[in-house]
Structure 1
C-alpha cells in the first residue's frame, strides 16, 4: 500500500514497486482514513509505504497506530523530512525502514527489497547505535504502549475535538472516550488534556516532549 497525499509521489512509488516485483497488486491511499479503511476491510498487505505528513496524521501518530493495530505488517516511512532525529524516531516507533524522497529509484527499490526480505533499511549515514537520552526514550516507550484506539483519540485531541465529537467520529459513547483520555494521561504520565495535546504537538513536530515538561 502506498500512502501519500500527493498523486505524483504515489506515481513515482508505484513505478519503483512495479519495477521491483512483477505482478504486484498496489493499493493507494491519499488520506490516513483511506489507509485504515483498506486495512479494516481485511486487505492482505505485505508492506505499507507511509508518508509522515498526510491528512489524518499527526507526525508519528500514523506510524504508531499502524504498528499497534497491524503489528505484522511492515511499514517503511517515505518522507521529505530527512532530519536524522526524525529518521531515528521512526525506527524507534517500529518502522522497518526510512526512505528519503530525495533518493533515486534504484536506491528506493533496494530499500523496499531489503524490507520485503525481512530486513531493515535506513540511509547509511544514520547512526542508530548512538544512545538516546533517558527521558525521550521513556516517552517513546509510553507512547508505544497506547492502544490503536488511544492513538486515534490522542490524534483527535490534538486537533481540538471535544469528547462528544470524538465519540461521534469513533462511533462510541462519550463515557468510552473519557475512559480512553484517562488511560492516555496515565500512560503518558501527564495530568491534563492540555499536557497530552502539547505532547502530541511535539510528536507532530518530530520532537517528543520530555515527561513533566510544559
Structure 2
C-alpha cells in the first residue's frame, strides 16, 4: 500500500537488513530506503550505519517508535535524511513518504535550533551547494570526497563554511536548519545542487521494516 505515496512508485519490502543488502547487489540501487530501526537482525543505529556503509549515495529515511530528540539527532548524524515517528497514522506516513520522495526533509516538530541558526536561506557558492546537497543526502565526508573528487581537507573546509552560514555546529543541526529553511534534496540523479522545486519521482524505493 506504500506505493500510494507517489504515482509510479515501485516498493520492495524486506524483512531484514541482510535481505535488502543482498537484493541491491543484483538490482539497481533504490531511489530511497525507508528503514525501521527495529529490524530482527540488526537493531537501532547499527542498522543505519551498516546500510550507509553499503549504500552511501542512497538516501535513507528512518521510521521508529523512539521519538526522543537524542535518537532523532543520532540518526541524522549517522546519515539519515529524515525521521518519521511510528505514531504517525498511515495516511500521514504516506504523506510524509511522498514529500520525502519529492526531496522534502521530514523531521519531527520541536527539535529546535540555537539562537545563532539562520533565519533565511544563506547564499552558498557553487561548491558549497554541491557539498551541502550530498551532506543532506546523508553522505559521509569520504563519500562526498569521492563524489566530488575533492580532498577530505577541502570537504571539511566547505562543511565548516556551510555550518557557519547556517549557524549550526554539526550535521544533525544542519539537517534541522535545512528543513526549517525549506531546502530540498536532489533525488532525481542529476548533478548535485540545491533544487528550487520538486520533480516527479521515479526509480525504485526499497523498504525495510
In the other structure, the counterpart of 1:97 is: 82
Contact 1:97–1:111 under 8 Å retained in 2? no
In structure 2, list runs of 5 or more residues that go unmatched.
116-139, 144-209
Distance 1:30 1:130, change over 3 A: farther
Alignment of 1:57 with 2:42, yes or no, is yes
In the other structure, the counterpart of 2:108 is: 123
- SS of alignment partner, residue 57 of structure 1: coil
- SS of alignment partner, residue 63 of structure 1: helix
Q: 1:2-151 residue pairs with structure 2 within 5 A?
A: 15=1, 17-127=2-112, 129-130=113-114
Contact 1:80–1:100 under 8 Å retained in 2? yes
| CA deviation map 1:94-131 (0-9, x unaligned) | 1111111111223222321222122311111222x359
In the other structure, the counterpart of 1:140 is: none
Q: CA RMSD in A?
A: 2.4
Instruction: Give 1:76 shift.
Output: 0.7
Could you list the runs of 4 or more consecutive aligned residues of structure 1 that deviate by over 4 angstroms after TM superposition? 144-147
For 2:22 and 2:89, the matched residues in 1 are separated by 31
- Which structure is higher in helix share? 1
Instruction: Give 1:146 shift.
Output: 9.7
For 1:110 and 1:20, the matched residues in 2 are separated by 6
Distance 1:110 1:34, change over 3 A: same
For 1:53 and 1:81, the matched residues in 2 are separated by 10
For 1:23 and 1:90, the matched residues in 2 are separated by 29
Instruction: Give 1:70 shift.
Output: 1.2
In structure 1, list runs of 5 or more residues that go unmatched.
1-14, 132-143, 148-214
In the other structure, the counterpart of 1:152 is: none
Instruction: Give 1:33 shift.
Output: 0.8
| CA deviation map 1:52-104 (0-9, x unaligned) | 12122132111112222212211111111111210111111111111111112
| CA deviation map 1:120-175 (0-9, x unaligned) | 11111222x359xxxxxxxxxxxx6899xxxxxxxxxxxxxxxxxxxxxxxxxxxx
Question: Of the two, which has the highest radius of gyration?
Answer: 1
- Which structure is higher in strand share? 2
Q: 1:195-206 residue pairs with structure 2 within 5 A?
A: none
- SS of alignment partner, residue 30 of structure 2: coil
